Structure 1
Amino acid sequence: MALKKGQEVELDIIDAAFKGKGLAKVDGLAVFVPGTTPGDKVKARIIKKKKKHREAKLLEILEPSPHRIEPKCRHAKVCGGCSWQHIPYAKQLEFKTQQVRDHIERIGHLDGNIVKDGIGADQEFYYRNKMEYSISSRRWLTEEEIRSDEYVDDSAFAAGLHAPGRFDKILNLKECHLQVPESFQILDFVRSWCIEHDVEPYDTLENTGFMRHVMIRNSHHTDDFMVNLVTYQDDQKLMESMKDALLEKFPFITTIVNNVNDTKSPTAEGRYQKVLHGPGFIVDKIGAFSFKIHPNAFFQTNTAQAEKLYEVARNYAALEDGDIVYDLYCGVGTLSLFMSGPAKHVVGIELVDVAVENAKFNAKENGVENVSFIKGDMKDVFTQDVVDEYGAPNVLITDPPRAGMHPDVVERLCELKVPRLVYVSCNSSTMARDLKELNSVYEIEEVQPVDMFPQTYHIEAVAKLRLRG
């Protein structure tokens, strides 16, 4: 069967593939179908023809898998936020672990038995400490509206999440179960208040309107609660009125900030910001360390699971008194501080200016003096001069972005021959690629998946490496 573009076919989904897509095989040819789960029999339409596989759109579930459940959220089938709500959480974790194992075997050419069972989250829903909702003058239409023969107006004060693959249209949410329930209640209130007071939503194409985003952050270990209102214009009188209305309805809010983004950039980070209520930040903890989290600062999105992830990394590091630790891609220094206890010194290296400044601030706020942070590109900064200044590391932690480590960094690690190496990853495929290269110098003893994002296909992993004798 040639499986041409536009062709409709019946498929048996046999496995869960990368990025959460269901996998079917037709005469040995892989077909990937989003929104499916192993055990489903489906009707699908081929939408992309690739040399070695096909991609298809789900049209109908002919026979549901025994693993399939009814999603908690009405938007699950069209929203990109929770692509696996139709799968029980225990199965999600099983599929994610197998995904890591597959990458370790197929890309890393390593024994899949080194991959342990994934560490699941205690909370399947309401686990995020940050949600960034977008606002637009155009809403995403439902399947029924798209199929309608009549004209359907897509103009609206739409507040929610971007429709998958669209920068200009917003899925107008009626519910969301990723952050605490108060998060969606605040979004819903802001939307209603703006409509009532004739506040215009931002139009991405025309660059007109007022409201652009509502970003909400809450602390896991404290009662702090932040609302960050991102606007296209600076209107102090209007924002004071909105602030007063929010505090009257939600008195538990501890700080309200207005970020003014008067540029065409779609980011929720304003060109400048004003604190409307409270201190302008919230405070949360990871382990014994406290962090002031400002509106646009990075912080691990799932605090409880971040602590589990860091515990695994610290156990794999097997820290001893007097150890010198290097933390590559250190971000705002959360893991550096978490590792600082018995270490003689921790050296964090990071490319982003503001992250380095935040890391130094976090160290000072926590009274941690045995850490230093260096700004620069890893492949350029991680040199012999740095080693000469701070000492040769006994332990090295690397937590690279999704693209993995630059080949020059991998080569440098092989040259350094650090006794203990811990690799923290948000992308097990690029981690497996790097581990394949490191395997010539290091023995990869163990890989521990940790689920930071239930209801999605994403999975973190931590690898334990030891220098070969």
Structure 2
Amino acid sequence: MRCGYFESGRCRSCTWLEWPYADQLATKVERVRALLPDGVDWRSPVPSAQEGFRNKAKMVVAGSVDAPTLGILDPSGHGIDLRDCPLHQPGLHDALPVLADFVARARVAPYDVATRRGELKHLLVTESPDGELLVRFVLRSQEPLARLRKHLPDLREALPAARVVSVNLQPEHKAVLEGDREIVLTEAATLPMRLAGVELGLRPRSFFQTNTAVAEALYTEARGWVHEVAPASLWDLYCGVGGFALTTTAPGRDVLGVEVSDEAVRSATAAAHGAARFVAGDATAYAREHEPPDLVVVNPPRRGLGPELSSWLETSAVRHVVYSSCNAESLARDLALMPSLRPVRARLLDMFPNTAHYEVLTLLTRY
């Protein structure tokens, strides 16, 4: 893949871009296999397109109210415009210039890090498999809110794919992407995400995988493993909007998702239509207080499960674990704390091409 931003040195985020893609994939597999025990049945890795795969644009807004930049900041704090980034899906690529024009029309001043003045910090845009958009404006305060509401009909006309538009308030001067308060400006508050045979619901502050095609492969692979084991009961811990839970339901199977985010739980519950249950809470605390299921799916953050939840799984009656990890080092630490649950099958999915990052799915069985 060729990228003018990378070649000019304006953006070097894709640190592996100069490597042939086959070498990228082989290196990831080699590094992950070295961290897991011997005897694992490694399935062939799932590759990704090198460009046009990102369903989310996370853009720092800088520049001026008349000429905003959407992209990143250079070391001096000036904006580098990346609206033509080749990683974005076509719908995002087409939407970003329209959104930049809207920002100028609504007179929303970009936030200046050096002077701590201005309002618009980030523009976050997610595209669904159906081509609809979730658009979020991260503001320092509510000052521009009336202008955004006034010009919203113009945006909807220029960008009809914008199903959900919201404002997130992040008043603090620190490197935090978003704040705790969200104000939805449209009638719709949920973006339907149809993949792997289910319809998930994505609300503004809910997490979803960045690579839709590989996410679909991830859910499909996990579903096959779960159906092969055929558990009567299943927990999806760190369930987010319920991707693993909703793709592994089956007649007579009791499926429960646990997620700390209330908003994600609302999204998952609405999408489940009674096929699965979801509760808001800490995964470790919930596990300690309830009778364990036959199988647990875990999809923790980069830090992994940690000693408490790993130790609980080791001493529990859980027969199988499907572990989705974005960090094989923390996965290896967790596995060392669960010697009775042995990894028997694994597959690397290249969720983040052109970088050292990945997702690895592992099936653990109790011996």
* 1:176 positional shift: 0.5
* 1:315 positional shift: 2.3
Contact 2:203-2:264 within 8 A present in 1 as well? no
Q: Tell me: CA distance 1:451–1:246, structure 2 relative to 1, closer, same or farther (3 Å).
A: same
Matching of residues 204-215 of structure 1 within 5 Å = 204-215=113-124
Aligned position for 2:45 = 118
Matching of residues 38-77 of structure 1 within 5 Å = 71-75=2-6, 77=9
- 1:85-126 per-residue CA deviation (whole Å, 9 max, x = no partner) reads 21222222112111211222xxxxx217643331112x3211
* 1:198 positional shift: 6.1
Matching of residues 35-434 of structure 1 within 5 Å = 71-75=2-6, 77-104=9-36, 110-111=37-38, 114-121=41-48, 123-137=49-63, 157-163=68-74, 168-173=77-82, 175-191=84-100, 194=103, 199-220=108-129, 222-232=130-140, 233-236=142-145, 238-240=147-149, 242-264=151-173, 266-269=176-179, 271-275=181-185, 277=186, 279-319=188-228, 323-342=232-251, 344-363=253-272, 367-369=273-275, 371-383=276-288, 385-387=289-291, 392-434=292-334
Q: Tell me: CA distance 1:260–1:242, structure 2 relative to 1, closer, same or farther (3 Å).
A: farther
CA distance in 2: counterparts of 1:254 and 1:332, whole angstroms: 18
Q: Tell me: CA distance 1:174–1:312, structure 2 relative to 1, closer, same or farther (3 Å).
A: closer
Amino acid at match of 1:413: L
Tell which has more relative contact order, 1 or 2 (C-alpha 8 A, sep 6+).
2
Contact 2:58-2:124 within 8 A present in 1 as well? yes
Q: Tell me: CA distance 1:250–1:442, structure 2 relative to 1, closer, same or farther (3 Å).
A: closer
Contact 2:83-2:96 within 8 A present in 1 as well? no
Contact 2:62-2:110 within 8 A present in 1 as well? yes
Q: Tell me: CA distance 1:195–1:239, structure 2 relative to 1, closer, same or farther (3 Å).
A: closer
What secondary structure, in the 3-state scheme, does the structure 1 residue paired with 2:59 have?
A: strand
- 1:172-224 per-residue CA deviation (whole Å, 9 max, x = no partner) reads 3262012223424433344456568865321124332132222212111x232
- 1:396-445 per-residue CA deviation (whole Å, 9 max, x = no partner) reads 2122211111212111111114222211111111112222332x312321
Contact 2:201-2:267 within 8 A present in 1 as well? no
Q: Tell me: CA distance 1:306–1:208, structure 2 relative to 1, closer, same or farther (3 Å).
A: same
* 1:167 positional shift: 10
Q: Tell me: CA distance 1:112–1:100, structure 2 relative to 1, closer, same or farther (3 Å).
A: farther
* 1:237 positional shift: 5.3
What secondary structure, in the 3-state scheme, does the structure 2 residue paired with 1:118 have?
A: coil
CA distance in 2: counterparts of 1:97 and 1:212, whole angstroms: 37
Amino acid at match of 1:305: V
* 1:80 positional shift: 4.9
Structure showing greater Rg: 1
Q: Tell me: CA distance 1:419–1:268, structure 2 relative to 1, closer, same or farther (3 Å).
A: closer
* 1:157 positional shift: 4.1
CA distance in 1: counterparts of 2:34 and 2:78, whole angstroms: 36
- 1:101-159 per-residue CA deviation (whole Å, 9 max, x = no partner) reads 1222xxxxx217643331112x3211122112111259xxxxxxxxxxxxxxxxx8432
CA distance in 2: counterparts of 1:243 and 1:111, whole angstroms: 57
Percent identity of the aligned residues? 27
Q: Tell me: CA distance 1:193–1:100, structure 2 relative to 1, closer, same or farther (3 Å).
A: same
Q: Tell me: CA distance 1:200–1:103, structure 2 relative to 1, closer, same or farther (3 Å).
A: same
CA distance in 2: counterparts of 1:290 and 1:101, whole angstroms: 33
CA distance in 2: counterparts of 1:245 and 1:98, whole angstroms: 51
* 1:234 positional shift: 3.1
Number of aligned residues = 362
TM-score by length of 2: 0.86
Q: Tell me: CA distance 1:443–1:173, structure 2 relative to 1, closer, same or farther (3 Å).
A: closer
Give the gaps of 5 or more residues in structure 1: 1-69, 105-109, 139-155
Contact 2:119-2:144 within 8 A present in 1 as well? no
TM-score by length of 1: 0.69
Two-structure CA RMSD over aligned residues (Å) = 3.0
Amino acid at match of 2:290: V
CA distance in 2: counterparts of 1:337 and 1:197, whole angstroms: 40
Aligned position for 1:3 = none
CA distance in 2: counterparts of 1:396 and 1:198, whole angstroms: 50
Contact 2:108-2:144 within 8 A present in 1 as well? no
